[in-house]
Amino acid sequence: MTFTPSELLAVMGSRQLKNDTTVFAGVGVPLLAAALAQQRHAPQLTMVIEGGIIGPRIKPGRLPISTNEMRAAHQAQMLPAITDTFLFAQRGFLDYGFMGGAQIDQYGNINTSVLGTDYWHPKVRLPGTGGANDIASLCKEVIILTAHEKRRFVPRVDFVTSPGWVDGNGSRAKAGLIFGGVSRVVTTLGVFGFDPETRRMRVEALHHEVTLETVRANTGFELLTADPVGITAPPTPDELQMLRALDPDRRFLS
């Protein structure tokens, strides 16, 4: 059964989530991944949406396109103020944060602010942080979902919007971020983790028919490799059917 890169990313992202946990999910592919996990293997997964929505159950065919629209609150447990959402993270109540970004470096730092080394005169000005810095700083684990392209995977991001492992070797804790960190990076080519000592990115698993050579050719820095490197199972027809029912208009699955 054929599938698009976005469908692959959503399915692989959904498999990272466990039952009886909480996930801070943004709209788009992260929300699709969380909703798919909730429908399939994690019925007690609690989704948290930045606009101030706790515990919704996304209705198939009614996928929200904003964190502030009421479709995102279908059967929600709570509708607190937006500031309270981040206070829950600060108090250690949120297990996972789902994020994307324009750039990611070998230590899992994310850039969604500017492209170019001059902040005030950038080549491209991006949307900025929103709540991304809070998510990366305060959730117990951060999972990054992104297309795998050499222009995205750079040795050092032009601007650290959201901290990963900063410079590695304990630098995150030295910066005052005493818990959390990026646990996995899920891309259209594979699943990546981080060396427990250096915190450099390493290949954990490749998607079906993807080679290490392809991954290295699409990465702007040297990757470590786990021993052994696994192979992910392709999306099943059942997973794809449920996923496509969530977004029948293919606003995010194209």
Q: Of these residues, 50, 149, 204, 209, which one is catalytic?
A: 50
Domain of residue 9 covers 5-246
Give residue-wise pLDDT tens across range 199-240.
999 999 999 999 999 999 999 999 999 999 999 999 999 999
Helices (H) and strands (E) in the chain, counts: 7, 13
185 within a domain of the structure (yes/no): yes
CATH of residue 211: 3.40.1080.10
Q: What pTM did the predictor assign?
A: 0.93
pLDDT of residue 68 exceeding 90: no
What's the total number of domains in the chain? 1
252 within a domain of the structure (yes/no): no
Distance, CA of 146 to CA of 144 (rounded, Å): 6
Verify whether residue 50 is a known catalytic residue.
yes
24 within a domain of the structure (yes/no): yes
Three-class secondary structure of residue 220 per DSSP: coil
Q: What pLDDT sits at residue 127?
A: 87
